Amino acid sequence: MSSGVDLEHVTIRFGDFTAVDDANLAIRKGEFFSFLGPSGCGKTTILRAVSGFNEPTEGTIRINGSDMRGIGPNKRPTALIFQNLALFPLMSVADNIAFGLEVEGIKYVERRRRAEELLDLIALSGQGDKMVSELSGGQKQRVAIARALAVEPEVLLLDEPLSALDLKLRQHMRSELRNIQQRVGITFIYITHDQGEALTMSDRIAVMSAGVIEQVGDGSTIYNEPETAFVASFVGENNPFYGKVVKVDGDYAQIQNKFGLLRGRNTQGLNEGDAAILFVRPEALSLVEGDVPAENVVESTILSEEFEGPSIHIHMEGETEKRISFAVSNEGKGTHLKVGDTAKICFEVDRAIVLPEGDLADE
Amino acid sequence: MSDFLSVFLAVVLALLVAPMLQKNTYTVWANLRQVTFVKKNGVLVSTYLIGAVFIWVVLMIIAPQLYMVDFSFRDGAIGGDPDAYTLKNYSYLIFGRDSDENLFNLLHLQIFLKTILASVGVTLLAFLLCYPIAYYLAQSTKGGTTRLFLIALILPFWVNEILRAFAFRILFGSSGVINVSLMGMGILDEPIDFIKADIAMYAGLSYAYILLMVFPIYNAIESLDHNQIEAARDLGSPWWRIHYRVVIPYAKPGIASGCTMVFMLSAGALAVPQILGGPSSLWFTQIIYDWFFTGGDWSRGSAYAFVLLFSCIIFVLAVMKFFKVNLGELAK
Amino acid sequence: MTSDLIQKYMVRFYIAMFFLYLFGPLILMGVTAFNSPTFPTAIPIDELTLKWFSVLANDKDMIQGIKNSLWIGLGVVCLAVPIGLAAALLMSQVHKKAQSIYYMIVVSPLLTPGVILGISTLVFWDRLGVWVDADYNSVFYSGIFLSVIGQSTFISAYCMLIFLSRLQRFDRTQEEAALDLGATNVQVFWKILIPFLRPAIGSAAFLAFLTSFENYNTTLFTIQAESTLTTVLAGKVRLGTNPSLSALAVVIVGITLVGAVTHEIYRRREMRREALAAEAAKRAAHTADKGMAPV
């Protein structure tokens, strides 16, 4: 029997709308696990189902192996950090943190002691008597975390808790969250649409789209070995080349494309004749200077250049409205290329991946 | 024994008791816990919510009203048959006693019409008085001043309705301030009987409900962006057109709400007509009062009351239609 | 050229007249309280006196009426506030389709003339009394009880509107957060919802009491053999009586002024407190977040 959180064939419908479609997952104990996806993809619905605010229409959610069906949010070993934090504005910071203990009937002195401990943990020592309205955004964030930790949950659920903060604070809170998680050692399930957050903090990530879990894996797997066109296009920048598989040899596949024959790794076992998309990351593309390589050369018109200091972003005309983007490093002289010029770019076979055709993520 | 009442109570009882009479009471209660509403609120809070609202809606709002209507169709006079339905209470309002000379009950019909028309008049008067003030407070004054004005507006209404009417009696009485001053200045030789002429009453009625007219309109106009008025002025619109085209359409829900309340309260007023009304002119509510406490015919009183209620409903519906507002906007 | 100026003065004049209309009669009435003639007279001032206040204090009917009014007011607060609260809480939970009809029913007492509420309460409870064969001393015929019921019919709706407007500002996720932290539904109700609604409960109770204390139209029908301040007053005024009534008005206005001033001071203090908290949060943001507190 596994511990942690298990989703077994979880489907959640609201009327005719299927918010989550047959999700299967095993989240390990002590893991920092993220659900990543655009808004409306069903990730919050999963979170609310785990915390007990709605029940799966079909399937089972297990926490530490036991079926959670029919168990209310107040009886589950989970604690949820809300997107708007939902701190209690009429209570002091310490009372907020100790609320879970208060409803358990723990004596004032004891719960006050626990609150002080947690205030130490979140670096707000001695500020327990302040009102919530006197705290800054980042401090409120930490109080919300402490309040959830006070009930000693086995699973901490976080619903985009950083989305209300400004950029700098958000980056700081990332490392802080990760830090707290490693110290308390419990399972964190984190919901976000921000891939930066997911990639930097998580042990593993589930990428979701339209109610379906597209792929589960650690950050580098998700980035380097996407399994679907959605994941490839959603996580990080990627340049798609549409085509039909014309040749499969070993671990590689070759597609016929407007720009010619392009070859990349065939991780999904595509066969000849399958519709496919070949993805190349911008950092894998480079300008052809000097000898033209034997394969994987794309020739197109330069549409724009963006000077960004250390690098220069170049956009070239693609086969669809989406442009081919890549960057060249700034070597002090700028580029010799001008908008409107035709240029050749190339990439290594091992840095391209051929995936079955599917919907891409919206920009 | 009224069969209406027994049927009504039987239905209520049946609804309450039916679940408990089923074979296994325990499972009923267990199932009850599965109802989403109960699950969401908990058994205790659910019971309170349902119980309190049930008492209010059923026992205080619906049943008494329905019973009053039922009662108005009965013969409540001494010696009458209280179980049979009859239209005689209503026909009395229209035709009076059979033995009367006139075909119609002119006295009561006249009073009814006067009450309704005068209430409409009072409503219009109150609107004309209050709109400029509401507009001024909402658009032309700043925070502190506005609050001061608002407090000044509310203050008189902490004084009892009856004492306010009493104040008007002092003002308009034959030895009241107005008469004494006018005579003192030699304008009048004899005091004018403002009370007999009902002037005191109309002034008192408009006065009594000013607050209920000012506040809805004030609240509505307050949320109007002043820039809209500036823009209209900038486009060369004269002041009356600004009100007619910009402010009043915007304040419509507030105006509708104020008018409804003032009409309803005027038509249903009792204290002001009793205190400021002339001895020979009655208000419709006074006839109702007489049926109850001097005429001793509650059924007839109920019938008259229902006629009044019905008129108010008609007025509310008319206002809703005319101003194109819904009930939610009226009762705020 | 001066049309703007003329308009400005016209507006000023109108406002002055309006407030004269508002306060003039009351001020004159106040004057009569201190003037000696037995018939309430404002001018000419005969002799300044306080005797009408002592007449007022010795008026047994009035004192009895005030006592009854206080009890009825208390009863209305105890009945109308919980009902209004329940009705407001239920509003968001009523099925969408039934919501408008529910709303229509619960605000209908506000659009119903008070006399009709009084009459319907009277005839309904009278019939109930006959039906259960109640004793004439029982609640079914008690003026105090019926007045509480009759007044609560519409005062509950006022209370409900107060609660609804407060609830609109309630963040529902707070309830979920409390549940998630292990609170039971009852605990959520008492520890989260009620504290949030406390100011509204206060103002609802205050308004309920005041409305009850002032009510005449409904009470006149339900009070029967008993009396309240308003029915005693109306009886006296109709007979055209002495300036002790003016004295009562003076007392009421005095209490009101004190109340209004206290409320204003309280409100100002509250505002200052909020401003301070906001200031503190700003400062915290500066020091803590900028310096990135170590973890």
- ipTM comes to 0.81
- Answer for the pair B121, B272: CB distance below 8 angstroms, yes or no: no
Is residue C54 one of the residues assigned to a domain?
A: no
**Cα–Cα distance, B296 to B78 (Å, whole number):** 8
**Which of 14-53 (C) contact B at CB < 8 A?**
14-15, 18-19, 21-26, 28-29, 32, 39-44
Containing C241, the helix (H) or strand (E) segment is none
- Answer for the pair B164, B207: CB distance below 8 angstroms, yes or no: yes
* Burial tier of B68 (Cβ tally within 10 Å: 0-12, 13-18, 19+): buried
Cα B1 from chain centre = 32
Is residue C1 one of the residues assigned to a domain?
A: yes
Calculate the average pLDDT of chain A. 85
Asked if C179 lies within 8 A of A79 by C-beta distance, the reply is: no
Same domain, C207 and C71: yes
Indicate the residue type of B123: T
Nearest-Cα residue of chain A relative to residue C282: A136
CATH number attached to the domain at A229-356 = 2.40.50.100
Give C-chain residues touching A138 at CB under 8 angstroms.
285, 288-289, 293
Query: Chain A: which residues have CB within 8 Å of chain C?
Result: 51-53, 72-75, 78-80, 82, 84, 86-88, 90, 99-100, 102-104, 122-124, 130-131, 133-139, 147-148, 150-151, 169, 172, 176, 179-180
**Secondary structure of chain A in HEC code, one letter for each residue:** CCCCEEEEEEEEEECCEEEEEEEEEEECCCCEEEEECCCCCCHHHHHHHHHCCCCCCEEEEEECCEECCCCCHHHCCEEEECCCCCCCCCCEHHHHHCHHHHHHCCCHHHHHHHHHHHHHHCCCCCCCCCEHHHCCHHHHHHHHHHHHHHCCCCEEEEECCCCCCCHHHHHHHHHHHHHHHHHHCCEEEEEECCHHHHHHHCCEEEEEECCEEEEEECHHHHHHCCCCHHHHHHCCCCEEEEEEEEEEECCEEEEEECCEEEEEECCCCCCCCCEEEEEECHHHCEECCCCCCCCCEEEEEEEEEEECCCEEEEEECCCCCCCEEEEEECCCCCCCCCCCCEEEEECCHHHEEEEECCCCCCC
The mean pLDDT value for A286-301 works out to 79
Same domain, C87 and C222: yes
Same domain, C3 and C29: yes
pLDDT score recorded for residue B31 = 58
Q: Which two tokens stand for residue C34?
A: 């201190």
- Best C181, C282, C289 member to test A by mutation, with max A CBs in 10 Å, is C181
Number of domains comprising chain C? 2
Task: Tell me the nearest-neighbour CA distance from B101 into chain C, angstroms.
Answer: 31
Residue A122: which of A100, A96, A103 has the closest Cα?
Answer: A96
* Position A286 confidence tier, pLDDT thresholds 50, 70, 90: confident
Local structure of B74: helix, strand or coil = strand
Asked if C278 lies within 8 A of A135 by C-beta distance, the reply is: no
Segments making up each domain of chain B, as ranges: 3-72, 106-330
For every one of its 332 residues, what pLDDT tens digit does chain B have, with 9 covering 90 and above?
A: 456 666 777 777 766 665 555 544 455 555 555 566 776 777 788 888 888 988 898 888 888 888 888 888 877 666 666 677 777 777 777 777 767 677 777 788 888 888 888 889 999 988 888 888 888 888 777 777 888 888 888 877 777 788 888 888 888 876 677 777 777 777 777 777 777 777 888 888 888 888 888 888 888 888 887 777 778 777 877 777 878 787 888 888 888 888 888 888 888 888 888 888 877 778 888 888 888 888 777 888 888 888 888 888 888 888 888 888 777 666 65
- Answer for the pair B213, B130: CB distance below 8 angstroms, yes or no: yes
Same domain, C250 and C161: no
Instruction: Give the CATH number of domain A5-224; options: 3.40.50.360, 3.60.21.10, 3.20.20.70, 3.40.50.300.
Output: 3.40.50.300
Indicate the residue type of B139: Q
Give the neighbor-by-neighbor strand order of the sheet with A324-329.
A286-287, A342-346, A297-307, A311-316, A324-329
The mean pLDDT value for A217-228 works out to 88
Give C-chain residues touching A49 at CB under 8 angstroms.
none
Mark which of C176, C200, C229 sits at the end of a domain. Answer: C229
Mark which of C184, C202, C229 sits at the end of a domain. Answer: C229
The mean pLDDT value for A139-149 works out to 88
pLDDT score recorded for residue C159 = 92
Asked if C183 lies within 8 A of A99 by C-beta distance, the reply is: yes
- Best C180, C185, C194, C201 member to test A by mutation, with max A CBs in 10 Å, is C180
CA distances from B51 to A102, B22, B58, B114, C198 (A): 29, 22, 10, 43, 21
Same domain, C143 and C216: yes
Q: CA geometry: angle at B211 spanning B208 and B213, to 5°? A: 100
Q: Which two tokens stand for residue B212?
A: 């209920």
For residue A129, pLDDT over 80 is answered with: yes
**Cα–Cα distance, B330 to B285 (Å, whole number):** 24
The mean pLDDT value for C104-131 works out to 86
Domain that holds residue C36: 1-49+243-295
pLDDT score recorded for residue B332 = 59
Residue-wise pLDDT for C229-282, tens only, equals: 888 888 888 776 677 777 887 887 788 778 777 877 887 787 888 788 778 777
Q: Which two tokens stand for residue C90?
A: 């239920």
Same domain, C286 and C179: no
Mark which of C173, C207, C229 sits at the end of a domain. Answer: C229
pLDDT score recorded for residue C293 = 44
Instruction: Give the CATH number of domain B106-330; options: 2.120.10.30, 3.30.230.70, 1.20.1440.20, 1.10.3720.10.
Output: 1.10.3720.10
**Cα–Cα distance, C181 to A216 (Å, whole number):** 29
Tell me the whole-structure pTM to 2 decimals.
Answer: 0.80
CA distances from B135 to B130, B141, B142, B214, B248 (A): 8, 10, 13, 9, 10
Give B-chain residues touching C191 at CB under 8 angstroms.
none
DSSP type of residue B2: -
Q: Which residues of chain A does CATH 2.40.50.100 include?
A: 229-356
Nearest-Cα residue of chain C relative to residue B268: C113
pLDDT score recorded for residue B78 = 63
Q: Which two tokens stand for residue A334?
A: 């700028």
